[in-house]
């Protein structure tokens, strides 16, 4: 057993991290909020050139993928990266970044589709498989005020007609999608801790950095802890999916998504709190981490959804 | 202990209720959140109606034109206006509940005569220039500098969280007049006319994307010494006197809205087929119970204020518990909303947007008006007598 | 409206408080843990002489009763005080303190009866009424290790036969019992805060009283806050029961019990935490507050039970 | 990253499993919790069996008689012994996992030769004399005083939390040898033979009513200078070296038991008819998930230790998360238990007592071995680089 990043995994992590920091500075991402198109299509192609969309098609395993997606989450890189990645090699242009593939999910409340405005293709999981829909075939109503301006959303009205069946193992796609979304969430949580920690070291009140106050220190320690526990779960689930662990795959993936969602939601809100008044201003990025956490938590199943799934997987011993 | 209203209180309620029923049909439609001129018109129009009916400055002393109502009557006023869906205090907030009360206690007779009627009649809108980018929880660290030049102060510096600054007539401004003494000691309280030259106001967007606050930059703004309230360098004490005006009613309207939001959430769960989920029931039932308990605490704080004139740290107890509850309510709501939580607007025919915005509101509540951390310090130090923070001596 | 203690209520509070402090010092209460009989029957009669059992029979209202029971909870006075009080005037000797009346409750797990060893009478609520049982008629199995040594318990096996019907309004008794248990719980919470606060002021670590550390201060502030909110709910429910409020009585009582249970459970566990290592020793009283909180929370309905009841009372508007 | 065990690790597991199957039938029944002589017999008996089979001091270097196992093999050892329901380390804990490792690194050759074999063979039981009533979280404030008198130290003072003191042979004792320097600088580490005159041991009951710890009073106890490990006044560093011996396995047995307790609770809920309650399901499901995640974190910490030799502050991360989880598990359990929560013994035919005792255990876990508050400080300061506590300068 060696549950530590290999040198290759470490290299990949550093490569993606410097790509994200160089090409997706938070200031630039935030500027796109004011535009119709939060995805910069040139940059989208650069993501493809980095091999992110085709990563697993190119032979990398899920462990490499979670390491990469964590970095994308950490940098709040916008766009339906997971759905596009899942369909690489299955939908034209997904690997190359000429397609923007978004995921259609329906729950008890409604069908809310993100990134519909820039999507070229829509992925939907159906009973026993997955299919590709044309965005033009959907009855879309734009939402003026999305929660996360970097995750613009549309309401889908009426019945959705069947699309074209996508080859490939839909269950495996769904598991990988859940896992990679969890990896993004761990990145969001980690980004929130880093931002709040830097602020706590620099911001002074009552003659000292606020990070010298135990109350602030302890909030940051809790954020860090939840993030690191969730990261462990995500890495473990990646091992399970790669066959590099004996654990049950379904269970490991639910654990990962649940823990990562919780860590990101907690980290997002606590990061705002640590920033004090500045935390709820538009100009400070703290709120963007929380908003992304909410958006990604509601993708591939919320914390509550996966808690129920976990319970179903507990081996309740018949009464002896 | 008696939670029943006296006959006089009941009579006050009935009179108010009838009046509200008679006038509310004449109140125009509420303007959109970003149309500031229209909002000023709307808010001050309502204030004029209150003034004419004798409900303006409900908690102000009669001698200054207020109604001199008891804290309980103030509570009734807030309950009834909320229930009738009457307009909120809106941008009259600072004048009626903060600057005005300070003037009542601390200003000279001339200042009172000049400024108080405008507030009550809805002629003048006030804003607050207290916080600064470097002085938030530690307000006394403020650095906006005022230098005496004859019969004027020349003021330069920056203020933040100045709500309604671009439509306000006056600003209650805290400035530093002495940097060589302990930080609380060198502060002065000034009335700043907002048409003074040298004021630059920049809108400050909040995380909802709304413009609710502003930053105010002052560049050699000249303020007559006559506009000083209290002595030079005594402004910290002047600013703190407003606290003695707080009678425990600060969060009443807000609480009533939260109760409504909680009932809405139960209804919402029911319509989603989630009301049979015992976990959802317990979560919402528990929040509903806590709201009832906080309503009782509000009445205790108001009764204390009636007896003693002050709420004391009971306000911090309320704020802490209420804030925590808003966080939990918001989290229960967002989990129920699932994908609808991605939108601040309603999705479908249910008011999902209220719950998403409510969640954001909770995030602000634990920071605004004294962070959760500050409230806990107040409770620990003032109510439990625990030692104060040690002074910071570097590493 | 005047939701503040009247002079009479204040006097009663002070009277009971000094009685409890004088006659039930915590050290002496703790000594009785080592004996078979945690209730000192002489002291039990003194409680009766103070008028606690007959308080409402003697014409005092529920507001006076909650003020008194809060003080009894604060001092961890042992014994089934509420059940004995409820049956004053209905069961012989209850008013006078010559009877010890305990309450029989059954839940999904089992029937666990406290104080059976010293009880002279057992109160049970049944469909549509209340009845008195003879302790001798029950099949009792002693439990060696109760959670709260001052609340010794017995398991009741087999079916319980019907007892003698008790006159009086059983619903009103049950409501009053729930309310007075809530009042005791508020007292337990308050006692836990006081003990922990005193310790935090006196105990030094790292060259300062531990109460100077923000982490400790904030724990105590949370304890105090929950206690004060719960106290407000208990007082409001007493007003409702006395007809001195417009609120719904059932709802107000559930709110009171729920909030008080939560405050006492939180205060009990947090008080232990504030005491550090000493907190889980037998000799320090911190743990006794937590144990009493657990015992009383499971009497007249737990926090969970009343949360469900509250939900049932929410006016869920029919979908418009 | 690879969670699969190597062939060598699997082989180790199989060998161990066969050995456990072969010897466990010969292990006598576990004595009651308060029969200390019998418990010593039981614990040391098991240690002797381990020693003879080559499993004693599993993580100790081979040159000192240990097995020199990797952290992963140590993990496997703990998993297998737990799964086979083999005895725990019991009162060999201090010798095997604390005092022994310290001696390995810091003691003289003579001291090692004299003391290490007794620990491995189960001949000697050790206890720990570190904490004092006035020195808990702030261990370095300890005041138990040692005065040099020729070739002896004369020690007087009081120690607390000294588990197994009344049946131990030796004690790893921290004493103050210099009161005039900064508190960390004047501490010395001594081997105290427990049959020395002047030792008075008083049992310390815990909140369960059990006697698990003791207080130890030392009255002019004479300890040869030869029993000193490391230099005089260098004892703080010596005591801290044990941390470098911790390879992330400290809570493995405990975690496995908690997983069992969580499954038990689900079963319990099912038998009570409460498993259809979605709230209960989510609560338990979430705790089960967090246990899986903590199990993964444990493996990460162990892998880090394998690579670097140290766990670092990752141990604090684990402790904080695990403690919080134990609190929540305990609270879910007690709510489900309802009236059965009034008893530490089982009520009826379900193991309710385990859950009540488990709840109490959670209360201790957030205090013992570094309180939650101390862990958060460690994480904030060491992992996030936040400033240390300011020095205390009175009010």
Quote the CA–CA distance of B121 and B127 in Å, as a whole number: 16
Please indicate whether, in this complex, the C-beta atoms of A146 and B338 are within 8 angstroms of each other: no
pLDDT of residue A311: 96
Model confidence band, residue B392 (pLDDT cutoffs 50, 70, 90): low
Examine the domain organization and report whether D253 and D357 are in the same domain: yes
What is the spatial distance between Cα D79 and Cα D62, in angstroms, rounded to a whole number?
A: 22
Burial class, C319, CB count within 10 angstroms (exposed 0-12 / middle 13-18 / buried 19+): exposed
Q: What's the pLDDT at A168?
A: 85
* A230 vs A193: CA distance, rounded Å: 13
DSSP A160: P
Residue D394 pLDDT > 50, yes or no?
Answer: no
Using the Cβ of B352 and the Cβ atoms of chain A, whether some distance falls under 8 Å is answered with yes
pLDDT in tens, B132-178: 998 988 999 999 999 999 999 999 999 999 999 999 999 999 999 99
Mean pLDDT of B80-91: 96
> Does A16 lie in the same domain as A160?
yes
Among C143, C166, C189, residue at a domain's last position? C166
- Let me know if residue B79 belongs to a domain: yes
Question: To the nearest whole angstrom, how far is the Cα of C54 from the nearest Cα of chain B?
Answer: 21
Beta strands in chain A (DSSP E): 101-104, 112-114, 121-126, 129-133, 139-142, 153-157, 164-165, 204-205, 208-209
- For the cut 90, the answer to whether the pLDDT of residue D38 exceeds it is yes
Residues of B in contact with C222 (CB under 8 A): 320, 376
Average pLDDT of every residue of chain D: 94
Considering the domain architecture, whether residues C144 and C189 belong to the same structural domain is answered as: no
Contacts of D138 in chain C (CB under 8 A): 205-207
State residue D263's pLDDT score. Answer: 95
How does DSSP classify residue A137?
G
Beta carbons of C145 and D209 less than 8 Å apart: yes
How far is A144 from A167, CA to CA, in rounded Å?
Answer: 35
Q: Are residues C159 and C11 in the same domain?
A: yes
Mean pLDDT of D208-223: 93
Looking at the complex, report in whole angstroms how far the Cα of residue A216 sits from the nearest Cα belonging to chain D.
9
pLDDT at residue A174, rounded to an integer: 97
Q: Do D263 and D377 belong together in one domain?
A: yes
pLDDT tens across D317-352, in order?
A: 999 999 999 999 999 999 999 999 999 999 978 789
For residues B233 and B187, what is the distance between their CA atoms, to the nearest angstrom? 5
D364: closest CA of chain C, how far (Å): 7
* Residue in D246, D270, D290, D331 annotated catalytic: D246
E strands along D299-357, which residues?
A: none
- pLDDT in the model for residue D248: 87
Which residue on chain A is closest to B377 by alpha carbon?
Answer: A215
- How large is the angle between the packed helices D352-365 and C249-274, nearest 10 degrees? 60
Residue B337 belongs to a domain: yes
| Residue to test with chain C: of B270, B278, B386, most C Cβ within 10 A | B386
Q: Are residues C148 and C180 in the same domain?
A: no
The phi and psi torsions of B217 (rounded to 5 degrees) equal -105, 130
Residues D289-300, mean pLDDT to the nearest whole number: 98
**Does residue B395 form part of some domain?**
no
For residue B391, is it within any domain?
no
- Mark which residues 285-314 of B lie under 8 Å from C by CB: 285-286, 288-290, 292-297, 299-300, 302-304, 306-307, 314
Shared-domain flag, residues B81 and B203: no
CA C145-C147-C149 angle, to 5 degrees, is: 75
Contact B266 C309 (CB under 8 A): no
How close is the nearest chain C Cα to the Cα of A163, in Å? 34
Helix (H, G, I), strand (E, B) or coil at B44: helix
Does residue A252 share a domain with residue A280? yes
Say if residue C153 is in the same domain as residue C60. yes
Q: Which residues of C touch B370 (CB under 8 A)?
A: none
What confidence category does residue C84 fall into, taking pLDDT thresholds of 50, 70 and 90? very high
Specify the pLDDT at position C317.
67
Does residue D320 form part of some domain?
A: yes
Residues A303 and A197 in one domain: yes
What 8-state DSSP symbol labels residue B32?
P
Do C110 and C204 belong to one domain? no
Q: D395 falls in which pLDDT band (50, 70, 90)?
A: very low
Cross-strand pairs, C244? none
Does A142 map to a domain? yes
Identify the DSSP state of B390.
Answer: P
CA A41, A46, A48, A53 torsion-angle sign: negative
C266: which residues sit within 8 A by CB, 6+ positions away?
A: C189, C222, C223, C226
Domain that holds residue C192: 170-318
Task: Kindly determine whether residue A153 and residue B342, on different chains, have CB atoms separated by under 8 Å.
Answer: yes
CB within 8 Å: B392 and D395 = no
Counting residues of chain D whose pLDDT is more than 70, the rounded percentage is 98
pLDDT tens-digit profile of B272-298?
899 999 999 999 999 999 999 999 999
Q: Taking CB atoms and an 8 Å limit, are B386 and C303 in contact across chains?
A: no
Could you tell me the strand order of the sheet in which C129-133 lies? C101-104, C121-126, C129-133, C164-166
Residues D176 and D261 in one domain: no
Nearest CA in chain C to A213: C214
| Domain count along chain A | 2
**Do B152 and B197 belong together in one domain?**
yes
Q: Which residues pair with D201 in a beta bridge?
A: D216
Single residue among C128, C146, C166 that ends a domain in this structure: C166
Q: Which C positions 205-244 lie with beta carbon below 8 A of chain A? A: 213-215, 218
Residue pairs spanning B and D at CB distance below 8 A? 34
- Phi then psi dihedrals of residue D273, to 5 deg: 75, 20
Contact D379 A221 (CB under 8 A): yes
Query: Which residue in C227, C125, C123, C244 sits closest to C182, CA to CA?
Result: C227
From the candidates B246, B270, B304, B381, give the one annotated as an active-site residue. B246
Pick A302's closest partner by Cβ from B338, B345, B363: B338
Identify residues of D whose CB sits under 8 angstroms from chain B CBs: 277-283, 387-388, 390-395
Same domain for D174 and D225? yes
pLDDT for the residue B395: 39
* Whether residue B257 is found in the same domain as residue B192: no
Is D171 a domain residue? Answer: yes
Q: What is the mean pLDDT of residues C101-108?
A: 91
- For B309-365, how does the pLDDT look when each residue is reduced to its tens digit (9 = 90+)? 888 788 999 999 999 999 999 999 999 999 999 999 999 887 899 999 999 999 999
CA distance A258 to B335: 12
User: Given an 8 Å threshold on Cβ–Cβ distance, is B342 in contact with A145?
Assistant: no
Check C201 against B387: CB less than 8 A apart: yes
Taking one residue from A and the other from C, the number of pairs with CB-CB distance under 8 angstroms is: 8
Residue D312's pLDDT band (cuts 50, 70, 90): confident
Residue D340 and residue D310 share a domain? yes
Within a domain: C1: no
Q: Tell me if chain C has a CB within 8 Å of the CB of B380.
A: yes
Measured between CA atoms, the residue of chain A closest to residue C212 is A214
Q: Is the pLDDT assigned to residue D136 strictly greater than 80?
A: yes
Separation in Å, CA of B328 to nearest CA in chain C: 15
- Let me know whether B144 and B211 are in one domain: yes
pLDDT band at residue C28 using 50, 70 and 90 as cut-offs: very high
Contact C310 B384 (CB under 8 A): no
Helix (H) or strand (E) holding C222: helix C214-241
CB A121 within 8 A of CB A135: yes
D327 part of contact set with chain C, CB < 8 Å: yes
Backbone angles phi, psi at D218, to 5 degrees: -115, 125
- Residues C268, C295 share a domain: yes
Residue B238 within a domain: no
- Residue of B290, B296, B308 to mutate, testing the C interface (most C Cβ within 10 Å of its Cβ): B296
Distance from CA of D351 to the nearest CA of B (A): 25
With beta carbons less than 8 A apart as the criterion, state whether C145 and C188 touch: no
pLDDT at C309: 97
Query: Chains contacting B with at least 3 CB pairs below 8 Å?
Result: A, C, D
- D172 three-state secondary structure: strand
- Rounded CA-CA distance C44/C58 in Å is 18
Residues of B in Cβ contact (< 8 Å) with A112: 339-340, 342-343, 347
Domain boundary pick from B88, B118, B140 = B88
Helical axes C214-241 vs B314-337, angle rounded to 10°: 90
Query: What local confidence, expressed as pLDDT, does residue D309 receive?
Result: 84
Among C215, C277, C298, the residue with its CB nearest the CB of D342 is: C298
Domain total in chain B: 3
Judged by a CB distance cut-off of 8 A, whether residue B145 touches chain C is no
| D273 interface with A at CB cutoff 8 Å | no
**Are A210 and A175 in the same domain?**
yes
Contact between C206 and D137 using a beta-carbon 8 Å cutoff: yes
- Nearest by CB: A282 against B207, B327, B337: B207
The verdict on A157 and A12 lying in the same domain is: yes
C108 in contact with chain A, both atoms CB, cutoff 8 A? no
Confidence band of D392 (pLDDT split at 50, 70, 90):
low
| Cβ contact, residue pair A206, B342, below 8 Å | no
Maximum mean pLDDT: which of B131-145, C201-215, C252-266 = C252-266
pLDDT (tens digit per residue) in C109-161: 789 999 999 999 999 999 989 999 999 999 999 999 999 999 999 999 998 99
Of C106, C153, C208, the CB nearest to D392: C208
Q: How many CB atoms lie within 10 A of CB C57?
A: 15
Q: What CATH number is attached to the domain comprising A16?
A: 1.10.540.10
A281 and B367 within 8 Å at the Cβ level: the answer is no
**Are C189 and C232 in a shared domain?**
yes
A151, A155, A281: residue with CB nearest B206: A281
- What is the token pair recorded at C40? 């000192």
Asked whether the beta carbons of residue B3 and residue C211 sit closer than 8 angstroms, the reply is: no
What is the percent of chain C where pLDDT is above 70? 99
Model confidence at B375, in pLDDT bands (50, 70, 90)? Answer: very high
Distance CA D5, CA D19 (A): 19
User: In tens digits, what is the pLDDT along chain A, a chain of 320 residues?
Assistant: 999 999 999 999 999 999 999 999 999 999 998 888 999 999 999 999 999 999 999 999 999 999 999 999 999 999 999 999 999 999 999 999 999 999 999 887 789 999 999 999 999 999 989 999 999 999 999 999 999 999 999 999 998 999 999 998 999 999 999 999 999 999 999 999 999 999 999 999 988 999 999 999 999 999 999 999 999 999 999 999 999 999 999 999 999 999 999 999 999 999 999 999 999 999 999 999 999 999 999 999 999 999 999 999 998 865 43
Residue among D9, D284, D380 whose CB faces A217 most closely = D380
Taking CA–CA distances from D389, the nearest residue in chain B reads: B395
Residues D23 and D143 in one domain: no
Give the residue numbers spanning the domain of B137: 127-233
Residue A1: inside a domain: no
**pTM score:** 0.96
The answer to whether B348 contacts A109, with C-beta atoms less than 8 Å apart, is yes
pLDDT the model gives residue A318 = 55
Among D88, D117, D151, the domain boundary falls at D88
Q: CB D137 to CB C205 under 8 A? A: yes
D79 counts as catalytic: no
> Do residues B228 and B268 share a domain?
no
Which residue among C3, C212, C230 sits closest to B303, beta carbon to beta carbon? C3
Output the pLDDT for position A319.
43
Residue A224 lies in a domain: yes
**Please, are residues B192 and B223 in contact by the beta-carbon 8 Å criterion?**
yes
Q: Which of A136, A166, A196 is the last residue of a domain?
A: A166
């Amino acid at each position: 057993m060696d549950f530590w990043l290999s040198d290759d995994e470490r290299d990949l992590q550093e490569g993606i991290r410097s790509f994200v920091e160089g090409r997706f500075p938070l200031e630039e991402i935030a500027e796109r909020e004011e535009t119709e198109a939060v995805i910069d299509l040139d940059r989208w192609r650069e993501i493809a050139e980095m091999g992110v969309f085709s990563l697993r098609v190119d032979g990398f395993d899920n462990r490499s993928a979670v390491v990469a997606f964590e970095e994308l989450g950490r940098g709040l890189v916008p766009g339906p990266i997971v759905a596009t990645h899942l369909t690489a090699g299955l939908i034209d242009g997904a690997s190359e970044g000429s397609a923007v593939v978004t995921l259609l999910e329906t729950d008890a409340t409604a069908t809310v589709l993100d990134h519909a405005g820039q999507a070229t293709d829509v992925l939907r999981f159906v009973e026993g498989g997955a299919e590709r829909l044309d965005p033009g075939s959907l009855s879309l109503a734009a939402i003026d005020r999305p929660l996360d301006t970097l995750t613009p959303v549309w309401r889908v009205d009426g019945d959705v007609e069947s699309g074209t069946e996508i080859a490939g193992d839909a269950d495996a796609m769904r598991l990988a999608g859940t896992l990679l979304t969890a990896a993004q969430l761990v990145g969001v949580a980690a980004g929130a801790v880093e931002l709040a920690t830097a602020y706590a070291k620099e911001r002074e009140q009552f003659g000292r950095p606020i990070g010298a106050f135990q109350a602030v220190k302890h909030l940051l320690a809790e954020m860090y802890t939840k993030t690191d526990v969730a990261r462990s779960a995500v890495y473990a689930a990646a091992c399970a999916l790669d066959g590099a662990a004996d654990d049950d795959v379904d269970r490991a993936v639910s654990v990962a998504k649940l823990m990562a969602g919780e860590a990101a939601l907690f980290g997002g809100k606590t990061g705002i709190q640590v920033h004090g008044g500045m935390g709820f201003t538009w100009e400070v990025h703290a709120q963007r981490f929380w908003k992304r956490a909410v958006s990604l938590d509601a993708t591939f199943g919320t914390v509550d959804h996966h808690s129920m799934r976990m319970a179903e997987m507990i081996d309740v011993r018949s009464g002896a | 202990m008696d939670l029943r209203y006296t006959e006089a209180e009941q009579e006050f309620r009935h009179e108010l209720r009838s009046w509200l029923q008679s006038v509310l049909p004449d109140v125009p439609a509420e303007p959109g959140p970003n149309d500031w001129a229209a909002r000023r018109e709307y808010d001050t129009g309502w204030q004029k109606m209150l003034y004419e009916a004798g409900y303006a400055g409900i908690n102000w002393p009669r001698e200054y034109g207020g109604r001199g109502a008891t804290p309980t009557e103030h509570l009734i006023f807030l309950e009834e206006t909320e229930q009738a869906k009457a307009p909120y205090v809106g941008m009259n907030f600072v004048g009626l509940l903060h600057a005005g009360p300070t003037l009542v206690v601390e200003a000279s007779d001339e200042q009172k005569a000049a400024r108080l009627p405008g507030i009550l009649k809805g002629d003048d809108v006030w804003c607050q220039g207290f916080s600064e980018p470097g002085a938030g929880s530690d307000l006394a660290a403020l650095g906006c500098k005022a230098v005496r030049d004859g019969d004027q102060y020349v003021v330069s510096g920056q203020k933040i969280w100045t709500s309604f600054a671009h439509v306000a007539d006056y600003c209650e401004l805290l400035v530093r007049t002495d940097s060589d003494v302990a930080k609380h000691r060198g502060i002065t309280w000034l009335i700043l006319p907002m048409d003074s030259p040298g004021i630059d106001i920049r809108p400050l967007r909040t995380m909802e994307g709304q413009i609710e606050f502003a930053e105010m930059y002052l560049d050699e703004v000249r303020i007559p010494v006559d506009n000083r309230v209290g002595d030079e360098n005594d402004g910290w004490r002047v600013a703190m006197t407003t606290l003695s005006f707080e009678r425990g009613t600060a969060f009443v309207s807000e609480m009533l809205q939260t109760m409504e939001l909680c009932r809405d959430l139960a209804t919402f769960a029911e319509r989603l087929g989630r009301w049979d989920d015992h976990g959802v029931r317990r979560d919402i039932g528990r929040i509903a119970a806590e709201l009832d308990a906080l309503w009782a605490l509000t009445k205790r704080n108001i009764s204390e204020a009636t007896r003693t004139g002050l709420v004391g740290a009971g306000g911090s107890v309320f704020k802490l518990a209420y804030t925590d509850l808003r966080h939990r309510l918001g989290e229960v709501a967002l989990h129920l909303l699932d994908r609808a939580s991605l939108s601040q607007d309603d999705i479908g025919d249910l008011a999902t947007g209220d719950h998403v915005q409510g969640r954001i509101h909770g995030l602000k509540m634990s920071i605004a008006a004294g962070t959760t951390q500050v409230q806990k310090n107040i409770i620990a130090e003032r109510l439990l007598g625990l030692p104060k923070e040690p002074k910071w001596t570097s590493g």
